[in-house]
Structures are given as structure tokens and as C-alpha cells.
Structure 1
Amino acid sequence: MRKIKAIEHVWNGGHSEHALSAIGRRRRIPPGRRMFYSFAMTAPDDSPATIVPQGPPINDTQQRILAAAVVCVRQWGIEKTNLNDIAKQAGVTRPTVYRYFASRDDILSAALMQSAVSLGQRLLARVETFDDPAQRLVEAVHFALTAMPGEPYLGVILQTDLSAFVSHGAMMNEQGWALSTDLIRQILRGVEMSAAELADVTETVIRMVLSLLLMSGPSERDGAELRRYLTRVLVPMAGLRPGA
């Protein structure tokens, strides 16, 4: 079986190094703020994997802060949400928030990454029974499109002005990009592909998922119709052929 060339992604003393595509330099998260972002894939390139979050477990106070941030964004939008609002909603003081997070955006990034890791774990379990990489990609995107609206934190992007924040985080935030790329690498296991090609496919999939979630089209697709659409449009864009 041909193996995909793994993207360089090494965790070393709190620092992450990985190949970056041409879409821009990704924002590095300070080592002291990585506890919600770090993760590892537990299988080699040619077998199914599980995403395992790394770092200290989230305590009850931190979880309340994450949930409070999403509640505030739902109510007032991202631009009108500040740390005072989040602290009040969480029932903690502002200094308590700063003990764990540097900013409002830090809190939102942590909440979205937590939800994304959970979604990614279920997504990989859903597609691992398919032998064809093209079919795995179609099923993965279909699963993401149907599951994201129900995610406790990711689902907020459909109701607020958070969509730009999410798209930036998925492609420009270092840990968000690494998670997205590792998911695509596992979905396309067995496909020979350079790191640059993998980055291109990852970017294409992210843009496709966000556009289908956020933009209305001339027709509504679900189930078999959505799978046929993804097979016709996304699979060739990713450089794949069904059953190849």
C-alpha cells in the first residue's frame, strides 16, 4: 500500500514544528497556553488513528469559562463579547479568567479546539471501515457537515459572526491547522502525497466545509445527494479518483 508522506509535526518541549503551506504563516501559541491545543495521532500513516488530547485535564472552572464564552457569543456576537461578560456568565472573577487564558480569543480558540478534537475522534471512527480514500473523504466531509451544527461549541458558527474567527483558526492558527492536516492525512492514508500537496487538499476541504455550512445554494442537498455532489466536485479537487 502506498503511504502518504507524513507532514512534519513534532512536539518538543511545548513547541510544535510542522510544514506550512503557502497560505501564510500560522500564529504560534505560547507554550504556557497550549493545554487545550496539543494533541497526538496514535497510529502510523497506513492505519486508522485516534486523536488523543495532550496536556493537563481541563478542570471545572476552565470548562465553565469555555461554556460561558460560547453563551456570550451566541447572545451578543463576538465583537460585543468581552472578558467581563465571560467572567460574569461563568460565575468567576476576571483575575480567575486570566489565570487560565490570555484573552477572549484565547478562550474561544480553546473552546472550538476542544469541540473540534471531539468531532475529529468520531469522524475517524466513522470512516475507518472504508477502504477507498476517496470514499473516506466524502464520508468524512458528509459527517462533518451533518454533525457540526449539533456540536456544543462548533455549532455556534452557524448562529453568529464567529465564522471568520473559525476559518482563520482552522487555517492560520498553528494548532488548528495541525489538527486539520492530521485529520486529512489519516483520511487519505495510503495515498502518496507530499506535504505541500497535503496542505493544499486540507485547505480545499476546509473551504468546502465552511462554504457548504454557511452559504445557501440553489438547492438543498442531504444524504445521498450530498454524497454524489461531494464525489463529483470535491474528489477531483483533491486529486483523487473514486475506487482508484
Structure 2
Amino acid sequence: MRTHGWSGSAPSTDEEAVARILDAAGNAIDARGADFSITDVARTLGVTRQTVYRYFPSTDALLQASAQRAATGFLDRLAAHLQGVTEPDEAVAEGIATALEWLPEDKHIGLLLTPGRAGAFSQTVTSDVALQFANSMLRRFDVDWGARGFDDDDLDELAEHLLRIIQSFVIDPGRPPRRGPQLRAYLRRWVGAALTAEIAVEPTC
């Protein structure tokens, strides 16, 4: 790999270069959300834009990679928060409510789940990246989905439904917005109830 630039301290491998670019992009997202460019990142690192483009062909590609990198930490925190919640309706209601509460403080995951930057990832909340995130979220819950009768296709659909609910609350939180216990009661009644009904359905012979 090339060693020019990098403020006099060039990375020794391409993997290190990518990590340093993502670190710089992450700091820029923390400071300005999606309102940054390849030029900003290159200036921070002491390299040319062409150097950054060798690893990420566009600002949107860099945004996506940075958001996906942050997703693991978000999912780890959410799984820890929901540890011991084994009922599907309770887990999904609490998961959605907690995600909605954390999103304003996590600009990286906000970029992943809520369309806003023109052309970023996808103009729909159900982009492949967002669906993968939601599916990972469900599978980290302390719920034995298989024992409750949910297969992989069911979880794929549930992940999509979860994303659509999150998007609707982000776009229009309500007047006044539901928060805390009120939000959780609403989600248990209208989202959790669907899962409870699905579990209660006995297979026909």
C-alpha cells in the first residue's frame, strides 16, 4: 500500500488504513451527522481525497461502513438491556421502545435506520443493510424463537415490520409523543398482541 501522507504516520496495512478512515468518519458523524464529505475525512487524516476513494468510492459508502461498524456496539447494549426478557411480545415492545429512545443520541444508527441524507444507502427504511440490522437485533433477544413457532421467514418479516414501526415513530412521534410506560403499553397492545396471537394459533391437521 502507499505510504504518502497520513500526517507523517502511514498505516502499515490496508486494514489499518480502513480502520483509521472509519475512525475519522465516526468522529465527523458524531460532530455533524451525515453532513460531512470525503474531503473532511481526508483533511483530518492528512491524505488526499484520492487516498480515501481507494478504500471507499463515495461518501455514502463511507457512511454505510461507519454505521455498520457502530451497529455491533448498539446491538450489544440492547441485548444487555433486554437480557432475561424471554417473551416475544415483551422483548419486541421493549426493543422498539428502547431503540426509539436511543436513536436521538446515536447518530450512526440513525443514519442506518432513518432515511434522511439524499441518496444515503437507500431511500427506504427496508434497505438490505437496515433489514440485516433488525434481523440481528431480533436474534440477539433472549427469546427462543424456534420453540415459539417462528422460523427464519417469520423473523425476516418481523424485522421488516419492526423497521416500519420505528420509521413511523421517527417521522411522526405523535401529538403529544408517547414516551416511557405509555409508549411501551401502546407497543405491547398493538405490536406484542400480534405475536401473542401468532403463538396461540394451533397448526391445523
1:161 matches 2:116:
yes
| Aligned counterparts of 2:119 and 2:57: Cα–Cα separation in 1 | 20
Counterpart of 2:140 in 1: which secondary structure?
Answer: helix
CA RMSD of aligned residues (A): 3.4
Q: 2:137 aligns with which of 174, 179, 183?
A: 183
Q: 1:134 aligns with which of 83, 89, 98?
A: 89
Bigger share in helix? 2
Q: What corresponds to 1:62 in structure 2? A: 22
Please give the residue correspondences for 1:187-206 in structure 2 after superposition, counting only pairs within 5 Å.
Answer: 187=141, 188-190=143-145, 191-206=148-163
Q: What corresponds to 1:228 in structure 2? A: 185
Higher-RCO chain (CA-CA 8 Å, sequence separation at least 6): 1
1:122 matches 2:82:
no
Q: How far off is 1:153 after superposition?
A: 2.1
Please give the residue correspondences for 1:1-244 in structure 2 after superposition, counting only pairs within 5 Å.
Answer: 59-68=19-28, 71=31, 74-75=34-35, 82-88=37-43, 91-155=46-110, 161-162=116-117, 165=120, 171-173=126-128, 175-187=129-141, 188-190=143-145, 191-237=148-194, 239-240=195-196
TM-score scaled by structure 1? 0.61
| Aligned counterparts of 2:188 and 2:51: Cα–Cα separation in 1 | 48
Residue 112 to residue 226, structure 1, CA distance change in 2 (3 Å): same
Moved over 4 A (4+): 69-75, 155-160, 166-170, 241-244
Q: How far off is 1:72 after superposition?
A: 5.6
Question: Would you say the 8 A contact 1:84–1:94 is kept in 2?
Answer: yes
Structure 2, unaligned runs of 5 or more: 1-14, 201-205
Q: Percent identity?
A: 24
| Aligned counterparts of 1:100 and 1:243: Cα–Cα separation in 2 | 46
Question: Would you say the 8 A contact 2:89–2:196 is kept in 1?
Answer: yes
Q: CA deviation digits over 1:153-185, x for unaligned, max 9?
A: 234689993398467576323x54333213213
Amino acid at match of 1:181: N
Greater shift, 218-227 or 164-173, is seen at 164-173
Report how many aligned residue pairs link the two structures: 182
Structure 1, unaligned runs of 5 or more: 1-55, 76-80
Residue 220 to residue 176, structure 1, CA distance change in 2 (3 Å): closer
TM-score scaled by structure 2? 0.71
Bigger share in strand? 1
Question: Would you say the 8 A contact 1:127–1:136 is kept in 2?
Answer: yes
Amino acid at match of 2:98: F
Q: Which has more radius of gyration?
A: 2
Counterpart of 2:178 in 1: which secondary structure?
Answer: coil
Greater shift, 109-118 or 220-229, is seen at 109-118
